[in-house]
Amino acid sequence: MSATNPSLLIAPDLAALIIENAREYAFFTMDLEGVITHWSPGAERITGYPAPEAVGMNVSTLFTPSDTAASIDRLELDTAIQEGRAEDSRWHVRRDGEWFWANGVTMLFERSGTKALLKIIRDETAAKLAAEHRILLLNELNHRIKNTLATVQSIAEQTLRSGAVDAATRANLTGRLMALSSAHDVLVQESWAGAGLADVVEQATAAYQTQAPAIEITGPPVRLSSNLAVSIAMALHELARNAVKYGAPSRPEGRVSISWTDAHDRAGHRFVSLLWAERGGPPVSPPQRQGFGTRLLDRIFAEGGGQAVTDFAPEGVRCAMSLPLLQAEAAPMLKVTQDPRRGPAP
């Protein structure tokens, strides 16, 4: 005789006690046509239907009109009958007509040679409404940020134009504002919960792909905090802008590769090492003075525990960055350092 796993058996009195007191869940049984045969106190609390009224009622009564018109209620029963189980999350209807969001599972069982269905429902309306409210707030935030950046860009352009500032300077400022906007677009897609490094890199270099089609991007999946994503996007924008003007992409045979890998140090802290490398461009020499781009990067990466070293090798600029990977709420900005042998970053 094979042993029976005791964890698979629940005494009838214990099962009844659980069902009677699990008020956050609705338990009810049905025949194969969906007619309700047993109804728990939790089912009455959630749906508003008392047991005498619910027993004998078809489960389709709990579905929304659009779902019943599409035969979703019948499909759920058929799936449970054929596969033994059917689970979904959808809107249902209480006795007073109010809709509620619920996760439900319908299971096939057999007792005394008769097959029947058991359905368990959990009311998740509060969590559903909270999530939708969060999405609404995020959409409003995204809209306001986008409008604010567009307004700042317009004000800056008009102010500089009226001040007779040369077109190249105006274009540089506009490009930096657009890079900031693009970084925010990546975060919007992730609901501001951080972003993938690959997405940040692709977005930051997208504007230069037509001018520098040979930008190669490789690396494993890495998640960045929102602050770090914006910082890296701005840094890559500066590197790409300078490269298109003076570096490898300024020649047809020029190439740029952006690669990264993530690891842990001896203390167990996670970090990512990112390398910007150019080759095939004109000979490189260290700049004679610190430009605005360098000052911008110094300000962006003024705090935190990261490090970046720019090497102006004759065969092409290389910028190696080591970036700490921390939680979004605690991730610091990076700090840029320079190789004293090569001079300041461009």
Give the pLDDT confidence score for residue 338 in this predicted structure. 37
pLDDT in tens, 15-61: 666 666 666 789 999 999 999 999 999 999 999 999 999 999 999 99
| Residue whose C-alpha is closest to residue 97's, from 168, 48, 166 | 48
Residues 128-146 have a mean pLDDT of 77
pLDDT in tens, 301-339: 555 567 777 888 888 888 888 777 764 333 333 333 333
Predicted structure pTM score: 0.51
Kindly state the tokens that stand for 197. 């490094």
Task: Give me the sheet containing 36-39, strands edge to edge.
Answer: 36-39, 25-30, 114-123, 99-111, 85-93
Instruction: Decide the pairing of beta strands 25-30 and 36-39.
Output: antiparallel
pLDDT in tens, 220-237: 988 887 777 777 888 888
Could you tell me which residue, 88 or 281, shows the higher pLDDT? 88
Q: Taking 70 as the threshold, does the pLDDT of residue 297 lie above it? A: no
Task: For residue 42, report the phi and psi dihedrals to the nearest 5 degrees.
Answer: -65, -35
Q: Taking 70 as the threshold, does the pLDDT of residue 261 lie above it? A: yes
Give the pLDDT confidence score for residue 213 in this predicted structure. 55
Give the pLDDT confidence score for residue 82 in this predicted structure. 95
Task: For residue 53, report the phi and psi dihedrals to the nearest 5 degrees.
Answer: -85, -35
Give the separation between CA 59 and CA 72, rounded to whole angstroms.
11
Question: What residues contact residue 223 under an 8 Å CB cut-off, 6+ apart?
Answer: 194, 195, 196, 197, 325
Give the pLDDT confidence score for residue 53 in this predicted structure. 96
| Residue whose C-alpha is closest to residue 208's, from 167, 242, 181 | 242
Q: Taking 80 as the threshold, does the pLDDT of residue 107 lie above it? A: yes
Give the separation between CA 195 and CA 64, rounded to whole angstroms.
37
**What residue ranges define each of the domains in the chain, with the CATH number in brackets?**
10-123 (3.30.450.20), 128-324 (3.30.565.10)
